Amino acid sequence: KLTLFWFRRDLRLEDNLGLYYAHQQEKQVLPLFIFDAEILDRLEDKTDARVTFIHEQLSRLREELAAYHSSLLVRHGKPLEVFQSLTQEYPIQNVYTNRDYEPYAKKRDAEVADYLQQQGIDFYDFKDQVIFETDEITTDKGDFYKVFTPYSKRWLQKFEKTQITPVKLDGRKQAFFQTKPLPLPSLRAIGFEASKIKLPSPEVDDTRIRNYDQTRNFPAKAGTSRLGIHLRFGTISIRKLALEAASLNETFLNELIWREFYMMILYHNPQVVDKAFKPAYDRIPWRNDEKEFSYWCEGKTGYPLVDAGMRELNTTGYMHNRVRMVTASFLTKHLLVDWRWGEAYFAKKLLDYELSSNNGGWQWAAGTGTDAQPYFRIFNPASQLEKFDKDLRYVKTWVPEYGTDQYPEPIVDHKMARERALAVFKEALDQ
Ligand code: FAD
């Protein structure tokens, strides 16, 4: 009899809580990863860099497991069907995994756990990808928070009182299922090709984090951690990172709290996936001009900070947070395009795409979300440029033709667009 450990968004051996507990119990552990056809089939770009990233991480895990004389079982298919065949192939006693809080994942795991239970197999899941789970930070009355600041205060109080100790696998090789290396399907075998996008390293740059509050707003500076993709796929441990953050920079720790805040919001309000957090905002009659939307996507709006951001995203799969705010505000307010269009575009392109944070970020920018900020605060792309990229270093990197006659005229006038947005929002919300 053996225990399967099912990797999902926790692709590391180090300080992986579910794996640690699986390794501690008496059955041998066989690690498993499923290329989930339900997710992969929805990806239009067959060179999607996130799939290449996962593939590289699996190859690394497989090598690390070889040091334990074990390997990684990799399957491709719908998870429930994969388990239906694995239970025929292996004498499975338990399945261990780490919890995933997205609506799709909750449903998937409930179905798998149900099936396993019918087969007499126990399914155990653990908290791993967050410091505090969705129901661990609540008001005195036990309600979930709707606003960030009180949530973050409560989070910090609890963090200070909690002893967080990263765990390490002991060296017992035979605690893993002993096997020769198991095959890793190629990217092609699962319908993909390698991406050419350069993928960021999981190294934590202490100096960057120490200066984070000073540098994080300037897109031309390497002032943020670039750890988003590693938090997304669990190639770093949130516990280790939060402990480092607490000793290096409060503002940085605060950003990690935003991550958990949006996860909590999505968990308790799964309707936000396609509805405004504040329902009245679903009355806004978005203009949704397809031509203007495509100028935005391509970085050809004639607003240099917006265009630089979109071109950075299209080329690298990354966009600086300040510029994410400016581009998202521009799309939803200046062009009056539905935030769901922008959200879907970012979801396709961002290496660090996270449903909860992306949805939260878009609803924040559109004014439809949890934030108390009134809708009439509209980013002015020109003054944002003046404040955060004064010497045009960022703009010139991505929009080299800026300042020449090759660069397009603005597709909308700022003053007109601002007044139009105010009028449209006001009318929809006053109804
Ligand atoms: P750092 O600034 O170094 O921050 C460290 C980590 O903290 C990030 O990797 C991320 O996990 C977390 N974090 C930082 N800021 C936020 C935030 N505002 N909300 C939630 N978590 C945060 N972040 C995503 O991880 N995935 C997304 O899909 C995403 N989409 C966004 C869309 C919009 C419109 C906006 C305005 C923001 C979005 N963000 C998203 C938040 C933020 O822009 C990115 O987390 C950050 O830019 C990633 O770069 P970094 O890893 O260098 O972050």
Task: Point out the annotated binding site.
Answer: 212, 252, 255-262
pLDDT of residue 235: 98
Whether 172 is in a domain gets the answer no
* 14: CATH: 3.40.50.620
Let me know whether 122 and 149 are in one domain.
Answer: no
Q: Which residue CA neighbors atom 31 of ligand 1 most closely?
A: 358
How confident is the model at residue 372, as a pLDDT?
73
pLDDT digit string, tens, across residues 356-370: 999 999 999 999 999
pLDDT in tens, 303-352: 999 999 999 999 999 999 999 999 999 999 999 999 999 999 999 999 99
pLDDT of residue 359: 98
CB-based contact 297:345 (threshold 8 Å): yes
Q: Is residue 173 part of a domain?
A: no
Percentage with pLDDT > 70 across the chain: 100
Model pLDDT, residue 62: 98
Residue 408: per-residue pLDDT? 96
Residues with CB under 6 A from ligand 1: 216, 224-228, 231, 255-256, 258-259, 262, 321, 324-325, 328, 346, 350, 352-354, 357-358, 360-362, 365
| Distance from the alpha carbon of residue 124 to the mean position of ligand 1, in angstroms | 30
Res. 181: pLDDT tops 80? yes
Atom of ligand 1 nearest to the CA of 355: 28
Q: Which atom of ligand 1 is nearest to the CA of 364?
A: 36
Average pLDDT over residues 148-157: 97
Quick one: which atom of ligand 1 is closest to the CA of 228?
9
> Total domain count for the chain?
3
Annotated binding site for FAD: 212, 252, 255-262
The stretch 152-177 carries a mean pLDDT of 96
**Residues 102 and 239 placed together within one structural domain of the fold:** no
**CATH number for the domain including 146?**
1.25.40.80
Ligand 1 atom 20: residue of nearest CA: 259
Q: Looking at residue 377, what is its pLDDT?
A: 79
Q: Is the pLDDT assigned to residue 254 strictly greater than 80?
A: yes
* 308 Cβ neighbours under 8 A, 6+ residues apart: 219, 299, 323, 389, 394, 395, 397, 398, 399
Do 255 and 146 have their domain in common? yes
Residues 6 or more apart in contact with residue 393 via CB below 8 angstroms:
220
Let me know if residue 292 belongs to a domain: yes
Res. 241 pLDDT band, cuts 50 70 90: very high
Q: Give residue 190's pLDDT.
A: 97
Structure tokens belonging to residue 141: 């009355």
CB 425 within 8 A of CB 376: yes
DSSP designation for 67: T
CA pseudo-torsion sign 168, 172, 175, 181 = positive
pLDDT at residue 371, as a whole number: 81
Structural domain range at position 306: 273-430
Q: Which of 129, 157, 190 is the last residue of a domain?
A: 129
281 and 352 together in one domain: yes
Q: For 231-240, how does the pLDDT look when each residue is reduced to its tens digit (9 = 90+)?
A: 999 999 999 9
Angle between the 321-329 and 355-366 helix axes, to the nearest 10 degrees?
50
Residue 47 has pLDDT above 90, yes or no: yes
Which of 53-67, 195-209, 239-253 has the least mean pLDDT? 195-209
Binned at pLDDT 50, 70 and 90, residue 375 comes out as confident
Encode pLDDT of 258-306 as tens digits.
Answer: 999 999 999 999 999 999 999 999 999 999 999 999 999 999 999 999 9
Please report, for residues 58, 230, 270, 404, the alpha-carbon distance to residue 16 in angstroms, rounded to integers and kept in the order given.
Answer: 15, 14, 27, 52
CA distance 270 to 275: 9
Residues 402 and 294 in one domain: yes
* pLDDT recorded at residue 64: 97
Q: pLDDT > 90: what percent of the chain?
A: 96
User: Based on the domain organization, do 5 and 86 belong to the same domain?
Assistant: yes
* Domain-located, residue 264: yes
Nearest residue (CA) to ligand 1, atom 37: 361
Please tell me the predicted confidence (pLDDT) of residue 376. 77
Residue 228 is assigned to a structural domain of this protein = yes
Same domain? For 96 and 60 the reply is yes
Of the candidates 268, 283, 311, which is a domain's last residue?
268
Report the number of secondary-structure helices (H) and strands (E) in the chain.
Answer: 19, 5
Cβ proximity of 259 and 245 under 8 Å: no
Tell me, what CATH number does 295's domain have?
A: 1.10.579.10
Mean pLDDT of 75-94: 98
How far is the centre of ligand 1, averaged over its atoms, from the C-alpha of 228 (Å)? Answer: 7
Q: Is residue 234 part of a domain?
A: yes
Residues 278 and 417 in one domain: yes
Mean pLDDT of 236-256: 97
Residue 60 has pLDDT above 90, yes or no: yes
Based on the domain organization, do 54 and 139 belong to the same domain?
A: no
Catalytic residue set: 255, 258, 286, 321, 339, 362
Domain's final residue, options 75, 106, 129: 129
Do 209 and 307 sit in the same domain of this protein?
no
The answer as to whether 178 is a domain residue is no
Which pLDDT score is estimated for 119? 97
Q: Whose CA is nearest to atom 11 of ligand 1?
A: 228
Atom of ligand 1 nearest to the CA of 324: 36
Query: In three state form, how does the secondary structure of 238-305 look?
Result: HHHHHHHHHHHCHHHHHHHHHHHHHHHHHHHCHHHHCCCCCHHHHHCCCCCCHHHHHHHHHCCCCCHH
The verdict on 415 and 284 lying in the same domain is: yes
In a domain, 189, yes or no: no
Do both 23 and 95 map to the same domain?
yes
Per-residue tokens: 338: 């539905």
pLDDT band at 110 (very low <50, low <70, confident <90, very high): very high
How far is ligand 1, taken at its centre, from the CA of residue 259, in Å? 7
Pocket test for ligand 1, best of 102, 221, 255, 339 (most atoms within 8 A of CB): 255
